[in-house]
Structure 1
Amino acid sequence: MGDRRQSRELALQALFFLDMNSSKDVPADVEAFCLENEADLTPTVRPFFMDLVQGVLTAMDKIDPMLETYSKNWKVSRMPVVDRNIMRIAAFELLERPDIPPSVTINEAVDIAKKYSTRESGSFVNGILDRIRLSIGR
């Protein structure tokens, strides 16, 4: 597995943890996650992981309304936790990481959805992310 894929999968796990843990001390929770996963957060994995997690947390007020707009009748709160966090990561990449081709971002998100979620998740994630990609002109 490549470093970026590992960063994305660990970011998914961290965001899932934060989503399920309604703590008010997010920085402490991120640090606890990092300590627990220290062996996987190698020097080549950790920077992109941190960029994704911090980026999603910072941009969530912008990302979640986009997910709702382009999901057609799905509230973010009603989406499967894994799917919504995969899409948050990918939406952050589409919005804030022009150095990553949109096709790479979307393909990675679909592959991770197929690995960690349901059979239908790949097409669900693909459809929403493609609509976001088109809406931002990428």
Structure 2
Amino acid sequence: MGTRRKARECSLHMLYAVDNCNVPIESIYNSFAVYFPKGEAYRMFALDLFKGVCDNKEDLDSLIKQCAKNWEIERMAAVDRNIIRLATYEIMATTNIPIRVIIDEAVEISKKYSTKDSSKFVNGILDKLKKIRTQKNQKNLE
């Protein structure tokens, strides 16, 4: 497993703690320091993902709602919800990582941390999000 995946998993753990266990965002950094992947770049990658999701949660949830027909975000499994938020942030905020890689990473993480059907659910929503990002990029080029 690559170090970037470890960073994504670390971000997922932090998001889960905030979302499901009511851990204050401010206390997360110290609590999860032991889980950070080795290397400053990867530690920063994990923190940037976590902070990006926390800072943009409402916008991310709005995008997810567009892609998750007949699903309320609050009713999604907490792990799935946070994997999707994490990948949504990464898809919308980064341009140096191919979208397919981000989606594949999210699917693999869902296989590890959630149910056997979660990977299909995560993939389906993120695939729809990929189309939104592609359309947005095309409009920006026009």
Give 2:29's match in structure 1, choosing from 28, 31, 44: 31
The equivalent of 2:108 in structure 1 is: 111
Q: Which runs of 5+ in 2 are unaligned?
A: 138-142
Identity %: 37
- TM-score normalised by the chain length of structure 2: 0.88
The equivalent of 2:7 in structure 1 is: 7
* SS in structure 2 of the partner of residue 118 of structure 1: coil
> How many Å separate the matches in 2 of 1:31 and 1:106?
26
* SS in structure 1 of the partner of residue 32 of structure 2: helix
Superposition RMSD on alpha carbons, in Å?
Answer: 1.5
Alpha-carbon distance, 1:20 to partner? 1.5
- TM-score normalised by the chain length of structure 1: 0.90
Higher helix share: 2
Q: Which runs of 5+ in 1 are unaligned?
A: none
Equivalent residue pairs, number = 134
Q: Which amino acid aligns with 2:26?
A: P
The equivalent of 2:93 in structure 1 is: 96
User: Deviation above 4 Å: which 4+ runs of structure 1?
Assistant: none
- CA deviation profile, 1:13-59 (whole Å, cap 9, x unmatched): 11001112225x4212x223234x25x44234211101100010111
